[in-house]
Amino acid sequence: MLILGIDPGTAKIGLGLIEYKNKKTWVKCYDCLTTNAADTTAARLNDLYKQLLKFIKEHQPDIIAVEELFFFKNLKTAIKVSQARGVILLAAAQQGLKIYEYTPLQVKQALTGYGRAEKKQMQQMVKVVLNLKEVPRPDDAADALAVAVCCAHSLR
């Protein structure tokens, strides 16, 4: 089973594709989608949509796992991230994929057993759990892999 974890954002959208089989996980690939900051919001969302559809069609995941917006400091940022999440959910639904959503707290608990784990701790756990030589970069891709691992753990 291929699980695509997604860490939504406005400038960068983290993607982490893992294979889950016999209670084991392997990294297939990870990356970030980016949009041009000079473009309008509508143009950036359209670009995100096209890039995500291309990735989905190329890699054929069985499941999409998306991080929910749980806490925000800036309302303007929260709205933009919510718009990106909407595009992500639309693209996945149009491809007929199962969609699972997880809060940052759920992702942290799945990987570390502690819902208030620090970012560096999370990144180290992604490295360990997925048997990687180094922490995935950029951070958004590591976060997306964490969401995918959380999904795999919740399917057990």
Query: How many Cα atoms occupy the beta-carbon half-sphere of 81 within 13 Å?
Result: 20
Does residue 7 carry a catalytic annotation? Answer: yes
Residue 7 annotated as binding?
Answer: yes
* Rounded Cα gap, residues 14 and 3, in angstroms: 14
Does residue 39 carry a catalytic annotation? Answer: no
Q: How far is CA 91 from CA 53, 66, 88, 95, 122, in A?
A: 6, 12, 5, 6, 28
The token duo for 16 is: 């982490």
Which of 47, 134, 140, 143 is labelled catalytic?
140
Which of 39, 67, 139, 143 is labelled catalytic?
67
Extended strands (E) in the chain: 2-7, 12-21, 24-34, 63-67, 98-102
Which of 7, 39, 68, 118 is labelled catalytic?
7
Residue 134 annotated as binding?
Answer: no
Does residue 67 carry a catalytic annotation? Answer: yes
Q: Which residues are the active-site residues?
A: 7, 67, 140
Annotated binding-site residue numbers for Mg(2+)? 7, 67, 140
